[in-house]
Amino acid sequence: MKKLAVYSIFLGLVLAGNGFAEPKYHAKAITWPGYYAIGFVYMSPDGTWGTGTAVPNNNVLPYMIPTVCFAYEKGTFKVLATPGFSCAAEAGNSSGDFVGYLIDLNQLAALGNQNATSPSYQYFHYSKAKGTFDPIPTLPNYTTVTPPYPPAKFTGMTDAGDIFGGYSGPIDGDTSTLAAMVFKLKPDGALVELPGTAPGNLNTSFYNDNAGDAFGCSQAANGTQCDFVEWPANGGVKDLNIKQPTLSYYYVNAKGHSVEVLGNYPNTDNQCVFSNGEKSITIPLAPTGASHKYCSVLLADTDDIMGVWIPPNQPATAGFLPFYYNPNLKMPEDLTSVTEDLPSGTILLAANFANQTNGLVWASGSSSLPGPPGAYVPGDPDTLYLLTPISSDSKSK
């Protein structure tokens, strides 16, 4: 699942429409003193346990912020120790296992030096049953450019143990050789490269479902068009016959319903289109104007949709906030306005589905300005909220 980034923050008096929208979610605060930017890679359907990544408040490194991996259970967080290493979780499953990477803290500290080399990423598979971080040794030696980002990105993990991900960047430091491939790593350690719609295409993984079907984009190396594709669990590639500009996105839920994010993400001139196979609905991100058309959308199996927008009656400079949408609605609704039991004055700043099946959401909210508009201040006392759907009565069937 893709996380929703809020690129600037606007805290006004009262958002238009607050108090008039029908509540869709119940909020429960989940705090972890000493940590912030808490993100789950898996949350159980009942919201009682999960795994993920967080940032400690006592960070002192000047360049790249170290993170910790955690296990969460019934309101309690536990750091999973990786002495001397920063730990980042990227995808997990219902067994409590997850995959991610480690970086030596000394290499992170050295990144403030202009002559520092890119750090070495040590990929792992965390086993909850064994309590161990087991190395994943089969990933090719792809390297990255500055700033240093991991050359491989895990995008999903099934309950059966299949791991999906992709690469994007130069091969072995040769910037004239670009790679963008999608892989499936099987439980026996075999690495399978998933094919594109044509030889030599650059392929990008968006996400996968628990059945082992993966979705993404295949495009010519010098092309500007993205062919949305499915990589079925039984092999091969299926062209979905949806062709959009490069860096558009596509999401499908268990019903086969989809959302297309059309445009040059993350630019603001985007559209979001919902389809249930019988009809298509362009999600009306009003008011009009390029600054109000930004969308970064996820789709739960309940057909609930999360994205970011500038709420109506706010200026274009206000900044993006999360919205809630369901195909039964005429307009998206500000997520804060449809969430009950939030402390007075709290505005939700970012949101994501914690569990895609039942629409469970995690969100961060704040009642105080953490910094200048567009800036994020490490250590900001944002609170994480677990949002539980109040009722499924209004969900589309």
pLDDT, one tens digit per residue, over 115-126 is 556 677 889 999
> By C-alpha distance, which of 334, 265, 327 is closest to 296?
265
Write down the mean pLDDT value for the chain.
77
Confidence of residue 184 (pLDDT cuts 50, 70, 90): very high
Q: Which has more pLDDT, 288 or 350?
A: 350
How much of the chain exceeds pLDDT 90, in percent? 25
Q: Which has more pLDDT, 353 or 26?
A: 26
**pLDDT tens column, 331-385:** 888 899 999 998 887 888 888 888 888 888 888 887 644 444 444 343 345 678 8
How much of the chain exceeds pLDDT 70, in percent? 72
pLDDT of 215 higher than 60: yes
Confidence of residue 263 (pLDDT cuts 50, 70, 90): low
Q: Which amino acid is at 6?
A: V
pLDDT value for 134: 95
pLDDT value for 130: 95
Over residues 98-117, mean pLDDT = 76
pLDDT of 10 higher than 60: no
pTM over 0.85: no
Over residues 71-86, mean pLDDT = 93
> By C-alpha distance, which of 89, 87, 73, 93 is closest to 39?
89
Strand 360-366 relative to strand 383-389, pairing: antiparallel
Q: Which has more pLDDT, 112 or 339?
A: 339
**pLDDT tens column, 190-214:** 888 899 888 878 888 888 888 999 9
pLDDT value for 111: 66
pLDDT value for 63: 55
Confidence of residue 75 (pLDDT cuts 50, 70, 90): confident
Is residue 67 a contact partner of residue 131, using CB atoms and an 8 Å limit? no
pLDDT of 268 higher than 60: no
Over residues 293-312, mean pLDDT = 81
pLDDT value for 378: 39
Q: Which has more pLDDT, 292 or 153?
A: 153
Over residues 227-238, mean pLDDT = 92
Domains and CATH numbers, the chain: 25-389 (2.130.10.120)
pLDDT value for 12: 29
